[in-house]
Structure 1
Amino acid sequence: MDCDSILDLLGEILIADVLKLYAHGLATKNCEFRSNSAMGENVDPEQQRILDENFSGSLQIDPKRARFPNCIVWTPLPVISWLIPFIGHVGICREDGVILDFAGPNFVCVDNFAFGAVTRYIQINKEKDCNMVCQGSTFIGQDQDEYDMDDALGKEGSTWDNALRKGTQEFQHHAYSLFTCNCHSFVANNLNRLGFQSGGWNVVNVALLVLIKGQWVSTGAMLKSYLPFVIVTGFGIIFGGITFLTFLAFFMVLLVGWFILATYCFKDFIQL
Protein backbone atom coordinates (compact mmCIF):
# COMPACT_ATOMS: atom_id res chain seq x y z
CA MET A 1 0.00 0.00 0.00
CA ASP A 2 1.48 3.31 -1.06
CA CYS A 3 1.66 6.51 1.00
CA ASP A 4 -1.34 8.13 -0.71
CA SER A 5 -3.54 5.14 0.03
CA ILE A 6 -2.55 5.21 3.71
CA LEU A 7 -3.38 8.93 3.97
CA ASP A 8 -6.73 8.39 2.27
CA LEU A 9 -7.55 5.56 4.69
CA LEU A 10 -6.63 7.65 7.74
CA GLY A 11 -8.73 10.52 6.40
CA GLU A 12 -11.75 8.26 5.97
CA ILE A 13 -11.34 6.88 9.51
CA LEU A 14 -11.05 10.39 10.97
CA ILE A 15 -14.11 11.62 9.10
CA ALA A 16 -16.08 8.56 10.22
CA ASP A 17 -15.13 9.19 13.87
CA VAL A 18 -16.15 12.84 13.64
CA LEU A 19 -19.49 11.92 12.09
CA LYS A 20 -20.02 9.30 14.80
CA LEU A 21 -19.35 11.83 17.58
CA TYR A 22 -21.63 14.36 15.91
CA ALA A 23 -24.41 11.78 15.61
CA HIS A 24 -23.94 10.79 19.27
CA GLY A 25 -24.22 14.43 20.31
CA LEU A 26 -27.45 14.87 18.37
CA ALA A 27 -28.88 11.72 19.88
CA THR A 28 -28.01 12.87 23.40
CA LYS A 29 -29.64 16.25 22.85
CA ASN A 30 -32.73 14.60 21.40
CA CYS A 31 -32.97 12.29 24.43
CA GLU A 32 -32.65 15.24 26.81
CA PHE A 33 -35.25 17.17 24.85
CA ARG A 34 -37.69 14.26 24.91
CA SER A 35 -37.07 13.71 28.61
CA ASN A 36 -37.66 17.36 29.44
CA SER A 37 -40.75 17.42 27.25
CA ALA A 38 -42.16 14.35 28.93
CA MET A 39 -41.59 15.80 32.39
CA GLY A 40 -43.02 19.22 31.65
CA GLU A 41 -44.88 19.11 28.38
CA ASN A 42 -47.48 21.57 29.62
CA VAL A 43 -45.02 24.09 31.11
CA ASP A 44 -45.05 27.46 29.44
CA PRO A 45 -41.50 28.50 28.36
CA GLU A 46 -41.77 31.89 30.08
CA GLN A 47 -43.05 30.28 33.27
CA GLN A 48 -40.20 27.78 33.15
CA ARG A 49 -37.69 30.62 32.77
CA ILE A 50 -39.09 32.36 35.85
CA LEU A 51 -39.01 29.13 37.84
CA ASP A 52 -35.41 28.52 36.79
CA GLU A 53 -34.46 32.03 37.94
CA ASN A 54 -36.27 31.58 41.24
CA PHE A 55 -34.82 28.20 42.16
CA SER A 56 -31.38 28.09 40.55
CA GLY A 57 -30.36 31.72 40.78
CA SER A 58 -32.25 32.90 43.81
CA LEU A 59 -29.38 32.36 46.25
CA GLN A 60 -26.78 34.16 44.14
CA ILE A 61 -25.86 37.78 44.73
CA ASP A 62 -26.71 39.83 41.65
CA PRO A 63 -26.05 43.58 42.09
CA LYS A 64 -27.43 44.38 38.62
CA ARG A 65 -30.83 43.03 39.63
CA ALA A 66 -30.47 44.31 43.21
CA ARG A 67 -30.64 40.77 44.60
CA PHE A 68 -28.70 40.09 47.80
CA PRO A 69 -30.01 36.88 49.44
CA ASN A 70 -29.68 36.76 53.24
CA CYS A 71 -27.71 40.00 53.28
CA ILE A 72 -27.47 43.26 55.16
CA VAL A 73 -27.06 46.02 52.56
CA TRP A 74 -25.85 49.62 52.78
CA THR A 75 -25.76 52.75 50.64
CA PRO A 76 -24.65 56.33 51.39
CA LEU A 77 -27.13 59.02 52.41
CA PRO A 78 -27.26 62.42 50.68
CA VAL A 79 -25.53 65.22 52.65
CA ILE A 80 -24.99 63.20 55.85
CA SER A 81 -22.64 60.70 54.19
CA TRP A 82 -20.83 63.58 52.47
CA LEU A 83 -19.77 64.73 55.94
CA ILE A 84 -19.63 61.39 57.80
CA PRO A 85 -18.98 58.69 55.18
CA PHE A 86 -19.48 55.70 57.48
CA ILE A 87 -23.09 56.69 58.24
CA GLY A 88 -25.59 55.57 55.62
CA HIS A 89 -28.86 53.78 54.89
CA VAL A 90 -29.21 50.06 55.63
CA GLY A 91 -31.64 47.32 54.76
CA ILE A 92 -31.98 43.58 55.11
CA CYS A 93 -32.83 41.09 52.38
CA ARG A 94 -35.16 38.14 52.06
CA GLU A 95 -33.96 34.72 50.95
CA ASP A 96 -34.84 35.54 47.35
CA GLY A 97 -32.59 38.62 47.54
CA VAL A 98 -35.32 41.29 47.65
CA ILE A 99 -34.32 44.28 49.80
CA LEU A 100 -36.48 45.47 52.70
CA ASP A 101 -35.70 48.86 54.28
CA PHE A 102 -37.47 51.18 56.70
CA ALA A 103 -37.66 54.43 54.74
CA GLY A 104 -40.37 56.59 56.30
CA PRO A 105 -43.28 56.78 58.77
CA ASN A 106 -45.17 53.47 58.72
CA PHE A 107 -43.43 52.54 55.49
CA VAL A 108 -41.08 49.66 54.66
CA CYS A 109 -39.76 49.67 51.09
CA VAL A 110 -39.87 46.33 49.27
CA ASP A 111 -37.51 45.82 46.33
CA ASN A 112 -36.85 49.56 46.01
CA PHE A 113 -33.85 50.58 48.13
CA ALA A 114 -34.71 54.10 49.20
CA PHE A 115 -31.44 55.95 48.57
CA GLY A 116 -30.04 54.26 45.49
CA ALA A 117 -28.10 51.16 44.56
CA VAL A 118 -26.39 49.01 47.17
CA THR A 119 -22.69 49.79 47.63
CA ARG A 120 -21.80 47.44 50.51
CA TYR A 121 -23.24 44.17 51.75
CA ILE A 122 -22.71 41.41 54.28
CA GLN A 123 -24.07 37.97 53.48
CA ILE A 124 -25.20 35.99 56.51
CA ASN A 125 -24.75 32.24 56.83
CA LYS A 126 -28.12 31.53 58.40
CA GLU A 127 -27.33 27.91 59.33
CA LYS A 128 -24.13 28.91 61.12
CA ASP A 129 -24.90 32.36 62.54
CA CYS A 130 -28.64 32.33 63.32
CA ASN A 131 -29.89 30.69 66.51
CA MET A 132 -33.21 29.65 65.05
CA VAL A 133 -34.46 26.85 62.80
CA CYS A 134 -34.06 28.62 59.46
CA GLN A 135 -35.80 26.34 57.06
CA GLY A 136 -36.20 26.93 53.35
CA SER A 137 -38.08 30.08 52.51
CA THR A 138 -41.77 29.84 51.74
CA PHE A 139 -41.45 32.80 49.41
CA ILE A 140 -39.23 31.62 46.57
CA GLY A 141 -41.39 31.18 43.49
CA GLN A 142 -44.38 33.01 44.96
CA ASP A 143 -45.80 36.39 44.13
CA GLN A 144 -46.39 39.07 46.77
CA ASP A 145 -50.06 38.09 47.32
CA GLU A 146 -49.09 34.49 48.05
CA TYR A 147 -46.33 35.74 50.35
CA ASP A 148 -48.88 37.74 52.36
CA MET A 149 -51.41 34.89 52.24
CA ASP A 150 -48.97 32.52 53.93
CA ASP A 151 -48.96 34.80 56.94
CA ALA A 152 -52.75 35.01 57.00
CA LEU A 153 -53.00 31.23 56.92
CA GLY A 154 -50.62 30.92 59.84
CA LYS A 155 -47.72 29.35 57.99
CA GLU A 156 -45.21 31.05 60.22
CA GLY A 157 -42.61 28.44 61.06
CA SER A 158 -39.08 29.46 61.94
CA THR A 159 -37.87 30.69 58.59
CA TRP A 160 -35.72 33.63 57.62
CA ASP A 161 -38.48 35.24 55.57
CA ASN A 162 -41.11 34.78 58.26
CA ALA A 163 -38.88 36.55 60.78
CA LEU A 164 -38.44 39.43 58.34
CA ARG A 165 -42.18 39.49 57.65
CA LYS A 166 -42.90 39.96 61.35
CA GLY A 167 -40.33 42.76 61.58
CA THR A 168 -41.83 44.45 58.52
CA GLN A 169 -45.35 44.26 59.95
CA GLU A 170 -44.15 45.79 63.21
CA PHE A 171 -42.33 48.71 61.58
CA GLN A 172 -45.29 49.46 59.33
CA HIS A 173 -46.80 50.86 62.52
CA HIS A 174 -43.75 52.86 63.62
CA ALA A 175 -43.13 56.55 63.12
CA TYR A 176 -39.80 57.31 61.45
CA SER A 177 -37.17 59.47 63.11
CA LEU A 178 -33.51 59.82 62.16
CA PHE A 179 -32.59 60.02 65.84
CA THR A 180 -34.88 57.50 67.53
CA CYS A 181 -36.34 55.04 65.00
CA ASN A 182 -34.54 54.67 61.70
CA CYS A 183 -33.37 52.09 59.17
CA HIS A 184 -30.72 50.77 61.57
CA SER A 185 -33.46 50.12 64.14
CA PHE A 186 -35.33 48.04 61.56
CA VAL A 187 -32.27 45.94 60.68
CA ALA A 188 -31.33 45.47 64.35
CA ASN A 189 -34.89 44.35 65.12
CA ASN A 190 -34.76 41.72 62.39
CA LEU A 191 -31.29 40.49 63.36
CA ASN A 192 -32.55 39.97 66.91
CA ARG A 193 -35.56 38.05 65.58
CA LEU A 194 -33.20 35.85 63.58
CA GLY A 195 -30.98 35.29 66.60
CA PHE A 196 -28.01 36.43 64.53
CA GLN A 197 -24.87 35.82 66.59
CA SER A 198 -27.04 35.40 69.71
CA GLY A 199 -28.84 38.74 69.30
CA GLY A 200 -28.20 41.95 71.22
CA TRP A 201 -28.19 44.12 68.09
CA ASN A 202 -28.75 47.86 68.13
CA VAL A 203 -28.18 50.84 65.83
CA VAL A 204 -24.55 51.27 66.89
CA ASN A 205 -23.27 47.72 66.44
CA VAL A 206 -25.22 47.33 63.18
CA ALA A 207 -23.38 50.38 61.82
CA LEU A 208 -20.05 49.00 63.07
CA LEU A 209 -20.79 45.59 61.53
CA VAL A 210 -21.27 47.14 58.09
CA LEU A 211 -18.23 49.40 58.51
CA ILE A 212 -15.90 46.56 59.55
CA LYS A 213 -17.19 43.55 57.62
CA GLY A 214 -19.08 45.07 54.69
CA GLN A 215 -17.91 44.03 51.23
CA TRP A 216 -17.90 46.54 48.39
CA VAL A 217 -20.09 45.72 45.41
CA SER A 218 -17.45 47.24 43.11
CA THR A 219 -14.72 49.86 42.92
CA GLY A 220 -17.30 52.26 41.53
CA ALA A 221 -19.48 51.67 44.58
CA MET A 222 -16.57 52.54 46.87
CA LEU A 223 -15.95 55.76 44.93
CA LYS A 224 -19.64 56.62 45.12
CA SER A 225 -19.45 56.27 48.90
CA TYR A 226 -16.25 58.19 49.63
CA LEU A 227 -15.64 60.57 46.74
CA PRO A 228 -18.31 63.11 47.84
CA PHE A 229 -16.73 63.21 51.32
CA VAL A 230 -13.28 63.82 49.83
CA ILE A 231 -14.59 66.59 47.55
CA VAL A 232 -16.64 68.32 50.27
CA THR A 233 -13.79 68.09 52.77
CA GLY A 234 -11.30 69.39 50.21
CA PHE A 235 -13.40 72.42 49.32
CA GLY A 236 -14.22 72.95 52.98
CA ILE A 237 -10.54 73.10 53.92
CA ILE A 238 -9.72 75.38 50.97
CA PHE A 239 -12.49 77.89 51.66
CA GLY A 240 -13.16 77.39 55.36
CA GLY A 241 -9.90 76.15 56.81
CA ILE A 242 -9.93 75.48 60.52
CA THR A 243 -13.51 76.72 60.84
CA PHE A 244 -14.77 73.99 58.54
CA LEU A 245 -12.74 71.29 60.31
CA THR A 246 -14.10 72.47 63.65
CA PHE A 247 -17.66 72.31 62.33
CA LEU A 248 -17.06 68.85 60.84
CA ALA A 249 -15.61 67.49 64.08
CA PHE A 250 -18.46 69.00 66.11
CA PHE A 251 -21.10 67.57 63.76
CA MET A 252 -19.49 64.12 63.83
CA VAL A 253 -19.13 64.02 67.62
CA LEU A 254 -22.67 65.31 68.11
CA LEU A 255 -24.33 62.78 65.79
CA VAL A 256 -22.23 59.74 66.71
CA GLY A 257 -22.29 60.71 70.39
CA TRP A 258 -26.07 60.88 70.37
CA PHE A 259 -26.46 57.35 69.06
CA ILE A 260 -23.91 55.94 71.51
CA LEU A 261 -25.50 57.67 74.51
CA ALA A 262 -29.07 56.94 73.44
CA THR A 263 -28.22 53.28 72.82
CA TYR A 264 -26.16 52.46 75.89
CA CYS A 265 -27.17 55.07 78.48
CA PHE A 266 -30.78 55.97 77.66
CA LYS A 267 -32.03 52.69 76.23
CA ASP A 268 -35.67 53.73 75.86
CA PHE A 269 -34.85 56.57 73.46
CA ILE A 270 -34.09 54.44 70.41
CA GLN A 271 -36.73 51.98 69.26
CA LEU A 272 -35.76 48.51 68.10
Structure 2
Amino acid sequence: MIDCWQPPTSAMEASLDLENQQMMEGSSQTLQIDRRSARFPCCIVWTPLPVISWLVPFIGHIGICREDGVILDFAGPNFVCVDNFAFGPVTRYLQISKAKQCHINSQQSAYDADDQCGQDEIGRDACTWDDALRKSTQEFQHKSYNLFTCNCHSFVANNLNRLGFQSGGWNVVNLAAFIFLNGRWVSKASMVGTFLPFVVVFGLGIMFGGWTFLTFLAFFTFVLVGWFLLGTYCFKNLIQL
Protein backbone atom coordinates (compact mmCIF):
# COMPACT_ATOMS: atom_id res chain seq x y z
CA MET A 1 0.00 0.00 0.00
CA ILE A 2 1.40 3.33 -1.05
CA ASP A 3 0.98 6.31 1.25
CA CYS A 4 -0.23 9.44 -0.48
CA TRP A 5 1.57 12.66 0.35
CA GLN A 6 -0.55 15.34 1.95
CA PRO A 7 0.39 19.00 2.24
CA PRO A 8 1.15 20.30 5.72
CA THR A 9 -1.84 21.35 7.77
CA SER A 10 -0.64 24.94 7.95
CA ALA A 11 -0.44 25.14 4.15
CA MET A 12 -3.97 23.75 3.81
CA GLU A 13 -5.29 26.26 6.33
CA ALA A 14 -3.56 29.11 4.52
CA SER A 15 -5.08 27.96 1.23
CA LEU A 16 -8.55 27.78 2.77
CA ASP A 17 -8.13 31.22 4.33
CA LEU A 18 -7.13 32.64 0.95
CA GLU A 19 -10.15 31.06 -0.73
CA ASN A 20 -12.48 32.38 1.97
CA GLN A 21 -10.99 35.84 1.64
CA GLN A 22 -11.47 35.80 -2.13
CA MET A 23 -15.08 34.67 -1.71
CA MET A 24 -15.76 37.47 0.78
CA GLU A 25 -14.18 40.05 -1.48
CA GLY A 26 -16.12 38.77 -4.45
CA SER A 27 -19.42 38.88 -2.58
CA SER A 28 -18.86 42.46 -1.41
CA GLN A 29 -17.77 43.95 -4.72
CA THR A 30 -19.39 47.22 -5.68
CA LEU A 31 -22.13 47.08 -8.29
CA GLN A 32 -21.04 47.75 -11.84
CA ILE A 33 -21.41 51.20 -13.36
CA ASP A 34 -24.23 51.44 -15.90
CA ARG A 35 -23.81 54.63 -17.92
CA ARG A 36 -26.99 54.17 -19.95
CA SER A 37 -29.17 53.87 -16.85
CA ALA A 38 -27.21 56.59 -15.01
CA ARG A 39 -26.17 54.22 -12.23
CA PHE A 40 -22.80 55.05 -10.67
CA PRO A 41 -22.43 53.06 -7.42
CA CYS A 42 -20.26 54.76 -4.78
CA CYS A 43 -19.19 57.49 -7.19
CA ILE A 44 -18.74 61.24 -7.24
CA VAL A 45 -20.42 62.55 -10.40
CA TRP A 46 -20.08 65.85 -12.26
CA THR A 47 -21.82 67.75 -15.04
CA PRO A 48 -21.29 71.26 -16.48
CA LEU A 49 -23.41 74.21 -15.41
CA PRO A 50 -25.17 76.42 -17.96
CA VAL A 51 -23.37 79.73 -18.62
CA ILE A 52 -20.83 79.38 -15.80
CA SER A 53 -19.14 76.31 -17.32
CA TRP A 54 -19.20 78.01 -20.72
CA LEU A 55 -16.83 80.59 -19.26
CA VAL A 56 -14.95 78.49 -16.67
CA PRO A 57 -15.14 74.84 -17.79
CA PHE A 58 -13.63 73.36 -14.63
CA ILE A 59 -16.57 74.60 -12.52
CA GLY A 60 -19.74 72.51 -12.62
CA HIS A 61 -22.46 70.72 -10.68
CA ILE A 62 -21.52 67.75 -8.52
CA GLY A 63 -23.29 64.90 -6.75
CA ILE A 64 -22.62 61.64 -4.94
CA CYS A 65 -24.19 58.23 -5.48
CA ARG A 66 -25.61 55.58 -3.20
CA GLU A 67 -24.42 51.99 -3.25
CA ASP A 68 -27.15 51.12 -5.76
CA GLY A 69 -25.92 53.89 -8.09
CA VAL A 70 -28.72 56.41 -7.51
CA ILE A 71 -27.46 60.01 -7.67
CA LEU A 72 -28.01 62.47 -4.81
CA ASP A 73 -27.31 66.17 -5.34
CA PHE A 74 -28.07 69.36 -3.44
CA ALA A 75 -30.01 71.42 -5.98
CA GLY A 76 -32.04 74.03 -4.12
CA PRO A 77 -33.15 75.37 -0.74
CA ASN A 78 -33.94 72.45 1.58
CA PHE A 79 -33.94 70.12 -1.42
CA VAL A 80 -31.73 67.14 -2.30
CA CYS A 81 -32.50 65.59 -5.69
CA VAL A 82 -32.77 61.80 -5.77
CA ASP A 83 -32.16 60.01 -9.08
CA ASN A 84 -32.63 63.21 -11.08
CA PHE A 85 -29.31 64.99 -11.60
CA ALA A 86 -30.30 68.64 -11.63
CA PHE A 87 -28.31 70.01 -14.59
CA GLY A 88 -28.30 67.16 -17.05
CA PRO A 89 -26.65 63.76 -17.51
CA VAL A 90 -23.38 62.83 -15.84
CA THR A 91 -20.31 63.68 -17.90
CA ARG A 92 -17.55 62.77 -15.44
CA TYR A 93 -17.39 60.34 -12.53
CA LEU A 94 -14.96 58.95 -10.00
CA GLN A 95 -15.66 55.68 -8.22
CA ILE A 96 -14.54 55.32 -4.61
CA SER A 97 -13.34 52.13 -2.97
CA LYS A 98 -15.28 51.82 0.28
CA ALA A 99 -12.94 49.23 1.74
CA LYS A 100 -9.65 50.96 0.93
CA GLN A 101 -10.45 54.67 1.05
CA CYS A 102 -13.26 55.11 3.60
CA HIS A 103 -13.62 54.53 7.34
CA ILE A 104 -17.02 52.86 7.27
CA ASN A 105 -18.50 49.51 8.20
CA SER A 106 -19.29 47.88 4.86
CA GLN A 107 -20.68 44.66 6.35
CA GLN A 108 -24.04 46.11 7.39
CA SER A 109 -26.83 47.35 5.17
CA ALA A 110 -27.67 51.00 5.48
CA TYR A 111 -31.37 50.29 5.75
CA ASP A 112 -30.91 47.73 8.54
CA ALA A 113 -28.57 49.89 10.58
CA ASP A 114 -29.63 51.73 13.69
CA ASP A 115 -30.41 55.41 13.37
CA GLN A 116 -27.52 56.24 15.66
CA CYS A 117 -24.13 55.34 14.23
CA GLY A 118 -21.24 54.58 16.47
CA GLN A 119 -17.91 56.32 16.26
CA ASP A 120 -14.58 54.81 15.39
CA GLU A 121 -11.30 55.38 17.15
CA ILE A 122 -10.62 58.68 15.38
CA GLY A 123 -14.06 60.12 16.08
CA ARG A 124 -15.70 59.81 12.68
CA ASP A 125 -19.18 58.44 12.15
CA ALA A 126 -18.74 54.68 11.80
CA CYS A 127 -21.64 54.21 9.37
CA THR A 128 -22.22 52.29 6.19
CA TRP A 129 -21.94 54.19 2.93
CA ASP A 130 -25.68 54.68 2.55
CA ASP A 131 -26.05 55.58 6.23
CA ALA A 132 -23.60 58.44 5.81
CA LEU A 133 -25.36 59.71 2.68
CA ARG A 134 -28.74 59.48 4.38
CA LYS A 135 -27.53 61.55 7.33
CA SER A 136 -26.01 64.22 5.09
CA THR A 137 -29.21 64.32 3.04
CA GLN A 138 -31.28 64.85 6.19
CA GLU A 139 -28.93 67.65 7.25
CA PHE A 140 -29.03 69.48 3.91
CA GLN A 141 -32.80 69.18 3.67
CA HIS A 142 -32.78 71.88 6.36
CA LYS A 143 -30.23 74.17 4.69
CA SER A 144 -30.75 77.07 2.32
CA TYR A 145 -29.02 76.79 -1.04
CA ASN A 146 -26.64 79.55 -2.04
CA LEU A 147 -24.24 79.33 -4.98
CA PHE A 148 -21.53 81.16 -3.05
CA THR A 149 -21.89 79.84 0.50
CA CYS A 150 -23.76 76.52 0.52
CA ASN A 151 -23.92 74.63 -2.76
CA CYS A 152 -23.66 71.17 -4.28
CA HIS A 153 -19.94 70.98 -3.48
CA SER A 154 -20.72 71.66 0.18
CA PHE A 155 -23.10 68.68 0.18
CA VAL A 156 -20.63 66.25 -1.40
CA ALA A 157 -17.77 67.46 0.83
CA ASN A 158 -20.00 66.89 3.86
CA ASN A 159 -20.65 63.32 2.70
CA LEU A 160 -16.97 62.60 2.07
CA ASN A 161 -15.98 63.91 5.50
CA ARG A 162 -18.71 61.82 7.12
CA LEU A 163 -17.41 58.77 5.24
CA GLY A 164 -13.83 59.52 6.28
CA PHE A 165 -12.77 59.42 2.62
CA GLN A 166 -8.97 59.69 2.48
CA SER A 167 -8.95 60.80 6.14
CA GLY A 168 -11.43 63.64 5.57
CA GLY A 169 -10.64 67.35 5.38
CA TRP A 170 -12.71 67.92 2.23
CA ASN A 171 -14.00 71.33 1.22
CA VAL A 172 -15.42 72.93 -1.92
CA VAL A 173 -11.99 73.87 -3.32
CA ASN A 174 -10.05 70.62 -2.98
CA LEU A 175 -13.16 68.66 -4.02
CA ALA A 176 -13.51 70.68 -7.24
CA ALA A 177 -9.81 70.20 -8.01
CA PHE A 178 -10.00 66.49 -7.15
CA ILE A 179 -12.85 65.67 -9.53
CA PHE A 180 -11.40 67.88 -12.28
CA LEU A 181 -8.00 66.18 -12.14
CA ASN A 182 -9.11 62.60 -11.45
CA GLY A 183 -12.61 62.25 -12.89
CA ARG A 184 -13.21 59.90 -15.81
CA TRP A 185 -15.27 60.91 -18.81
CA VAL A 186 -18.46 58.95 -19.38
CA SER A 187 -17.80 59.09 -23.14
CA LYS A 188 -15.98 61.11 -25.77
CA ALA A 189 -19.25 62.83 -26.58
CA SER A 190 -19.57 64.02 -22.98
CA MET A 191 -16.07 65.49 -23.13
CA VAL A 192 -16.87 67.32 -26.37
CA GLY A 193 -20.18 68.52 -24.94
CA THR A 194 -18.39 69.95 -21.92
CA PHE A 195 -15.68 71.91 -23.72
CA LEU A 196 -17.42 72.82 -26.99
CA PRO A 197 -19.53 75.65 -25.48
CA PHE A 198 -16.40 77.12 -23.89
CA VAL A 199 -14.52 76.97 -27.21
CA VAL A 200 -17.44 78.60 -29.06
CA VAL A 201 -17.90 81.36 -26.46
CA PHE A 202 -14.16 81.96 -26.26
CA GLY A 203 -13.84 82.14 -30.05
CA LEU A 204 -16.77 84.52 -30.43
CA GLY A 205 -15.50 86.61 -27.54
CA ILE A 206 -12.07 86.98 -29.11
CA MET A 207 -13.60 87.72 -32.50
CA PHE A 208 -15.96 90.44 -31.35
CA GLY A 209 -14.50 91.57 -28.04
CA GLY A 210 -10.77 91.07 -28.30
CA TRP A 211 -8.86 92.20 -25.24
CA THR A 212 -12.02 93.48 -23.60
CA PHE A 213 -13.43 89.96 -23.55
CA LEU A 214 -10.16 88.47 -22.28
CA THR A 215 -10.06 91.05 -19.50
CA PHE A 216 -13.64 90.27 -18.52
CA LEU A 217 -13.00 86.50 -18.58
CA ALA A 218 -9.85 86.82 -16.47
CA PHE A 219 -11.63 89.10 -13.98
CA PHE A 220 -14.66 86.78 -13.76
CA THR A 221 -12.48 83.71 -13.17
CA PHE A 222 -10.30 85.53 -10.64
CA VAL A 223 -13.29 86.77 -8.63
CA LEU A 224 -15.11 83.42 -8.69
CA VAL A 225 -12.10 81.30 -7.76
CA GLY A 226 -10.82 83.91 -5.31
CA TRP A 227 -14.15 83.96 -3.47
CA PHE A 228 -14.05 80.23 -2.79
CA LEU A 229 -10.37 80.29 -1.84
CA LEU A 230 -10.93 83.10 0.65
CA GLY A 231 -14.16 81.61 1.95
CA THR A 232 -12.55 78.21 2.43
CA TYR A 233 -9.12 79.00 3.82
CA CYS A 234 -9.34 82.54 5.26
CA PHE A 235 -12.94 82.90 6.47
CA LYS A 236 -13.71 79.31 7.38
CA ASN A 237 -17.28 79.89 8.53
CA LEU A 238 -18.26 81.64 5.32
CA ILE A 239 -18.75 78.54 3.15
CA GLN A 240 -20.84 75.87 4.83
CA LEU A 241 -20.08 72.16 4.76
Q: Aligning the two structures, in what range does the TM-score lie when normalised by the shorter sequence?
A: 0.7 to 0.9
How big is each residue's C-alpha offset from its partner over 1:169-226, in whole Å with a ceiling of 9 and x where there is no partner?
0000000000000000000000000000000000001100101100000000001111
What residue number does 1:122 align with? 94
What is the CA-CA distance between 1:56 and the residue it aligns to?
Answer: 11
Q: Share of identical aligned residues, percent?
A: 71
Which one has the bigger helix percentage? Answer: 1
Structure 2 counterparts to residues 24-63 of structure 1, below 5 A: 59-63=31-35
* Structure 2 counterparts to residues 156-175 of structure 1, below 5 A: 158-175=127-144
CA separation in 2, counterparts of 1:56 and 1:204?
A: 32
**One-letter code aligned to 1:171:** F
Q: Among 27, 33, 38, which residue is 1:66 paired with? A: 38
Q: 1:197 aligns to what SS in structure 2?
A: helix
TM-score (norm 2): 0.82
What secondary structure, in the 3-state scheme, does the structure 2 residue paired with 1:64 have? coil
Q: 2:224 is matched with which residue?
A: 255
- Report whether the alignment pairs 1:107 with 2:68: no
Structure 2 CA distance for aligned equivalents of residues 123 and 75 of structure 1: 15
Larger Rg: 1
1:154 aligned residue: 115
Unaligned 5+ segments in structure 1 are 1-54, 140-149
Distance (Å, rounded) in 2 between the aligned partners of 1:121 and 1:87: 14
Compute the displacement of 1:137 (Å). 3.5
Alpha-carbon distance in 2 for matches of 1:137, 1:111: 20
CA–CA distance in 2 between the matches of 1:88 and 1:253?
16
- Determine if the alignment matches structure 1 residue 92 to structure 2 residue 92: no
Equivalence for 2:14: none
CA distance in 2, matches of 1:92, 1:232: 30
The number of residues matched between the two structures is: 207
In 2, Cα distance between the equivalents of 1:192 and 1:79? 30
Q: State the partner residue of 2:165.
A: 196
> Contact 2:46–2:93 (CA<8 Å) still a contact in 1?
yes
* 3-state secondary structure, aligned to 2:134: helix
Write the distance in 2 (CA, Å) between the matches of 1:136 and 1:65: 26
Gaps of 5+ in 2: 1-26, 119-126
Structure 1 counterpart of 2:149, which letter?
T
Q: Aligned to 2:175, what secondary structure does the other structure show?
A: helix
Task: Give the whole-Å Cα distance in 1 for the aligned partners of 2:187 and 2:201.
Answer: 22
